[in-house]
Amino acid sequence: MILLSFTILLGFMHAQGSAQVSAQVSVGCPFYASMNANSTYPLLGNVILSYTVKTQAVCTITNMAGNIVIEKGSNIIVSNAILIPSVSNTPITTNVILNTNSLSNGTYSATVSLSGQGISNSSAATFSLLNPPNIIITGINFPQSVQLGAQATLALSLENTGQYASTNDMLYLSVNGPVPYSNSYSVSGLAPGQQTNITITLSSITSATGNYKLSVYDQYAFDNSLYDSQTANSSYHVSAPAASSGGFSGGFAANITAPVSQIQNFFLTAAPFIVSASSASPSIAMLRSVNTGTVPENVTLSVPMQYSSLIAFDPPSGYLAPKQQFDVQVVATPNAAMSEGTYAIPINISVVSGLKRTTRQNYLLLDVYVQAKRGLQAINFVSLSNNTGAENETHTFIIIIRNL
């Protein structure tokens, strides 16, 4: 404690003479207190405030006591007692952790009040709790029915309902169905309250018929962590092109497009298969594959389960030594309820050579007539060469079956 001694002389007269009085006054150790807070904090987890205290002279205060109060308006959120064993002119900073889980956004005040050796001091700071970024998908639009092989457009809207901006946004898309698909797209960060519309043209999610579920969500960064929006879903169906009423044009149905994909060291030849049959009666064509390589192969033919009543292979698989041929009967049984026209049916071929399997999907064109027509039966073959290229590829072919 600093003692400042001085004398106060009080003079007065009385009948017996004059008198002098001397008094000693003691002054305590002055100190400085400061409440420290940023202007804003995200309303997310814990917020760290602090207060600093030190003496303003070369002196020490022991057992400094006080409290810290955090308020929102007239509501007291926190009120904690403080006891500091010793304070000198070396600053002491103490953190105060405020959990925001049960708090709401708005303006708050924090006040630290301290006293020691008869001296009191206080300091206050105001700060705001703001909502972190919150990205939501406010709308999603995708066609419920898509034609086989066609492009489809996904349209959606993103909105940031928070009070901070998002950064490093990535849109994640996944498709579950006969042919799964996934992709990601970079999206600009959204400012508070901003809404943006996104359009994506997709051409890789309609390669096979069937029912699909499309899911999309936005992932964004904030405060060194990653957060996800809700997931928006849309269901759609990929259907084969509608049956044509005019039969073939130049040997192929005019409204059917089924290109043959090329891969290295693999050659495909498409030829029409013409058989005589009526609706709901089996029609038979012959498919020949040839192993033109030098390594044995196992070949398997199949169609998706929903088409197994229409198309069958006999036998469905076989072993091919180098240069060996493999003939398979393709049995088509049109459904009695099918209208006259041409239908595209997914068909797969899988070739295993050693430890490597290659597969690809394309479409069989089934030309259905309600009434049987007389005519000649012509048999042609699709030649499948041995593939020595990359793994996980598909051998593709097209078969056309026509009732004469």
Rounded to 5°, the CA angle 270-276-277 comes to: 115
Higher model confidence: residue 332 or residue 97? 97
Quick one: DSSP state of residue 266?
B
**Domains of the chain with CATH codes:** 31-130 (2.60.40.3880), 135-239 (2.60.40.10), 260-403 (2.60.40.10)
What pLDDT is recorded for position 403?
36
Question: What's the CA gap between 107 and 130, in Å, rounded?
Answer: 9
50 pLDDT above the threshold of 70: yes
Determine the Cα–Cα distance for residues 244 and 256; give it in Å rounded to an integer.
Answer: 8
Query: What is the enclosing helix (H) or strand (E) of 215?
Result: strand 210-222
Confidence of residue 283 (pLDDT cuts 50, 70, 90): confident
Can you give the pLDDT at residue 339?
A: 62
236 beta partners = 212
Asked whether the beta carbons of 370 and 340 are under 8 A apart, the reply is yes
pTM higher than the cut 0.75: no
**Is pLDDT at 287 greater than 90 in this prediction?**
no
- The fraction of the chain above a pLDDT of 90, given in percent, is 44
pLDDT tens digit sequence for 322-379: 877 777 777 877 766 666 666 666 777 777 777 777 776 666 666 666 554 434 333 3
CA distance 266 to 293: 10
Distances in Å between the Cα of 200 and the Cα atoms of 174, 184, 214 are 13, 11, 13
Mean pLDDT for 81-91 is 94
Residue 207: per-residue pLDDT? 75
Percentage of the chain beyond pLDDT 70 is 68
Give me the chain's average pLDDT, please: 75
Q: Would you call 304 helix, strand, or coil by DSSP?
A: coil
- Among candidates 118, 131, 66, which has minimal Cα distance to 92? 66
Summarised one tens digit per residue, pLDDT across range 149-208 is 788 999 999 999 999 999 999 999 999 988 889 999 999 999 999 999 999 998 778 877
